[in-house]
Amino acid sequence: MHGVVPKSMWNKVNPADENNMCSWAMRCLLVEHGLRRILIDNGMGTKQDAKFFGHYYLHGDDTLEKSLATHGFTKDDITDVFLTHLHFDHCGGSIERVGDKLVPAFRNATYWSNKTHWASALEPNEREKASFLRENILPIEESGQLKFVEMEDNKEWMPDIRIRFVNGHTDAMMLPQIRCNDRTLLYCADLLPSAHHVSLPWVMGYDMRPLDTLSEKKRLFNEAAAGDWLLFLEHDPVNECCTLQQTERGVRVKDMMSLESTDINIMK
């Protein structure tokens, strides 16, 4: 998760346990947009076997169902599932097991990806092969609920929601850029897994093209600092959001906060 950053540095901000493992979140976002309820990413899901989950030591009582219920919703209320990319920890909840069948967990929703990333996930390179699980991907297409967005960076997907495309972590990862209450929120997915990854060279070892990630971070973080954007952090175990500022050492974290403490009316 910390790439080439020495453990003597990252262990201070995300301490490892006795197994040299760190805690991480799988933080999704629900956006109410008119009559639409858009769920951005959906975690690992629950359909895999005990051996699979045994590698990850899942802990805590949070579930997607509980979080939706807190706001009075069920999975059937979701109209759109926006998948930033198809690594299993971002899209595993798309599909559930019913008897011996794998079916969409959000039966009333349209699932959104893009053609470039979809093709990459179906024919992955050897390095990413373990992250793209066909049982998370093929049932979406087979259901007829899959649609692709247009491949144009910063193009409006729907009113007040634009899509930023980045290619360092994986091919054509999509970051929703949401405008609400005169404020911009960027759902950072794996471009910025935690607030501590703001430093440009702090790039995950999972990234296919780390130098591209570095360039993409620089470009978007400069925009974020200039526009006082909120950056929504999918994997940070503690911090939900942060803002950035320009310093003599480059872009750095300005403030960290919960989404509820901001003036953006978006439910987490």
Partners of 146 in the β-ladder? 111
Residue 92 and residue 135 in contact, taking contact as beta carbons nearer than 8 Å: no
Predicted local confidence at residue 265, as pLDDT: 60
How confident is the prediction along the chain (268 residues), in pLDDT tens digits per residue?
A: 999 999 999 999 999 999 899 999 999 999 999 999 999 999 999 999 888 888 888 888 889 999 999 999 999 999 999 999 999 999 999 999 999 899 999 999 999 999 999 999 999 999 999 999 999 999 999 999 999 999 999 999 999 999 999 999 999 999 999 999 899 999 999 999 999 999 999 999 999 999 999 999 999 999 999 999 999 999 999 999 999 999 999 999 999 999 988 877 654 4
Domain ranges of the chain: 7-261
Contacts of 196 (CB under 8 A, 6+ apart): 10, 13, 14, 202, 236
Predicted local confidence at residue 130, as pLDDT: 93
Contacts of 120 (CB under 8 A, 6+ apart): 128, 132, 170, 171, 172
Q: Is the domain defined by 7-261 classed in CATH 3.60.15.10?
A: yes
| Dist CA 246 CA 226 (whole Å) | 8
The pTM score is: 0.95
Predicted local confidence at residue 240, as pLDDT: 96
